[in-house]
Structure 1
Amino acid sequence: MNLRRTLASWRIVLGTVVAWPIALTWAAQGTWVAPLPGQTVVMSERPLAGVEIQPPPSLGEARIDRVRWTFRTDAPAPALKAWLCQQTFCLPLARRQGETQHFSGRSAASPFRLRFQLPVNDHGVDRVRVSAGQLIIDYRG
């Protein structure tokens, strides 16, 4: 158990134990984590719309603070393009792992989707397997 949470309602000040109420924001903070389904991306003129990543049903009116992601490919694919999308908002991802606050304030209860595109070119791979991915959403109630 996290020591910070254990001591959330107590504060030690100069050796004296003083009661300290739990802040409402502590109780309303959370994180949901979703593994990303593996998928094969083939060379195409259009992005592949991935599977929807559903949040837990208990989020209610929670709002996003930060989103983190990570994924790997089975072969080097420098031309691979990726976007993280929620509803009609899509954020281009410059790296295969990272974090953003561009979704801050949006509903944490709305599903996400990763989109990929392997542009048509004269060299490189014609398909790549995306796997070992994870999406982490930090939110406040």
Structure 2
Amino acid sequence: MSARRSARRDLRRLSGVALTSLWLTSLGLPAVFSAPVSAGAAGSWVGDAPSVRLYTPGREVVSQPFLPPGTPMSAEITSVSWRFTPPPGSARLETRLCHPQRCLWLATPRGQSRALAGLAATGPFVMRFRLPESARPSAPLRIEGLQLIVNYH
């Protein structure tokens, strides 16, 4: 098919959409059109969770879930970034970021990973914290600033 013929066909299609829109508005109805969403449309969402307190060595504490605000159900994770703030001088924490299908060990309080790539970006996600058995804190430890960023396509 020639480029000229293809351009005319596209123009006719566009004219049909415009006429339909005019007809609907003349009837007092809203003309609502949705553009096709391209496969692989990228996006991201940010979730925050309240602080958690660790009391007992060896006992796991789970954050409140990180839930996405309106992420498409078909969205897949490309990468995740996280951060949390342990108290200064606290014992090394055993920390995991968990998706319903898999958990990721977090070696540092701030970082990024592609280890969850391909899983559903809708989560829900939680952070799981644990003090090692050898830790003997004199007071409960408060972990603050829990944040998760999920990049998806």
Q: TM-score, normalised by structure 2?
A: 0.68
Which residue in 2 is equivalent to 1:48? 61
Which residue in 2 is equivalent to 1:75? 88
Mapped partners of 1:47, 1:122: distance in 2: 13
Q: 1:60 to 1:127 in 2, by over 3 A?
A: same
Mapped partners of 1:138, 1:41: distance in 2: 29
SS across alignment from 1:59? coil
Identity of matched residues, %: 29
Which residue in 1 is equivalent to 2:146? 133
Which residue in 1 is equivalent to 2:75? 62
Distance apart, 1:78 and its partner CA: 3.1
Q: 1:80 to 1:126 in 2, by over 3 A?
A: farther
Q: What whole-Å deviation, never above 9, does each CA across 1:5-57 have from its counterpart, x for those lacking one?
A: xxxxxxxxxxxxxxxxxxx467x110100112211112232321221111123
Distance apart, 1:136 and its partner CA: 0.4
What is the alpha-carbon root mean square deviation over aligned residues?
2.1
Aligned runs of 1:1-141 on 2, under 5 Å? Answer: 24=38, 28-121=41-134, 123-140=136-153
- Give 1 or 2: higher helix fraction: 2
In terms of mean alpha carbon deviation, does 85-94 or 107-116 score higher? 85-94
- What is the number of residues matched between the two proteins? 117
Mapped partners of 2:50, 2:64: distance in 1: 7
The letter for the 2-side match of 1:39 is V
Mapped partners of 1:125, 1:102: distance in 2: 35
Q: Are the counterparts in 2 of residues 43 and 119 from structure 1 also a CA contact under 8 Å? A: no
SS across alignment from 1:83? strand
Q: TM-score, normalised by structure 1?
A: 0.73
Larger Rg: 2
Q: What whole-Å deviation, never above 9, does each CA across 1:85-119 have from its counterpart, x for those lacking one?
A: 00141111100000000010000012100000012
Q: 1:80 to 1:122 in 2, by over 3 A?
A: closer
Q: Are the counterparts in 2 of residues 69 and 136 from structure 1 also a CA contact under 8 Å? A: yes
Q: 1:90 to 1:37 in 2, by over 3 A?
A: same
Which residue in 1 is equivalent to 2:21? none
Gaps of 5+ in 2: 1-37
Q: Are the counterparts in 2 of residues 75 and 129 from structure 1 also a CA contact under 8 Å? A: no
- Give 1 or 2: higher strand fraction: 1
